[in-house]
Amino acid sequence: MMGESVIWYVIGGVLLLYVLIMIPIQYRNIAATKEEFRKTNKTHNETYEDMSFEEQQLQYNLQGSLINLPSTLIATLIYKIVHRNK
């Protein structure tokens, strides 16, 4: 009984650490993507169509993974707060 709860705390701690580590990585990715949209004056779909297959896969794995969802949402919220007046 006691061992099972320790395992859940360890798993939860590892997931929390992962999310915290991924927030700055996601933020930089979001900022770079938004900057590219601004520079090229293209839509979201046009930008992704112009990317190489490797870049598309990197974006998909970074933004589309379910385990990255919490850090993506937090990073997006931080980005919108920091850039709300721009």
**Number of compact structural domains in the chain:** 1
Is 56 among the domain residues? yes
Per the structure, the complete domain to which residue 51 belongs is given by: 15-82
What is the pLDDT confidence band of residue 86, given thresholds at 50, 70 and 90? low
Give me the phi and psi of 43, to 5 degrees please. Answer: -75, 170
Is 46 among the domain residues? yes
* Residue 30 near residue 78, CB atoms below 8 Å: no
* Residue 81 near residue 29, CB atoms below 8 Å: no
Is 76 among the domain residues? yes
User: pTM of the prediction?
Assistant: 0.81
Is 62 among the domain residues? yes
Does the pLDDT at position 1 exceed 70? no
Is 6 among the domain residues? no
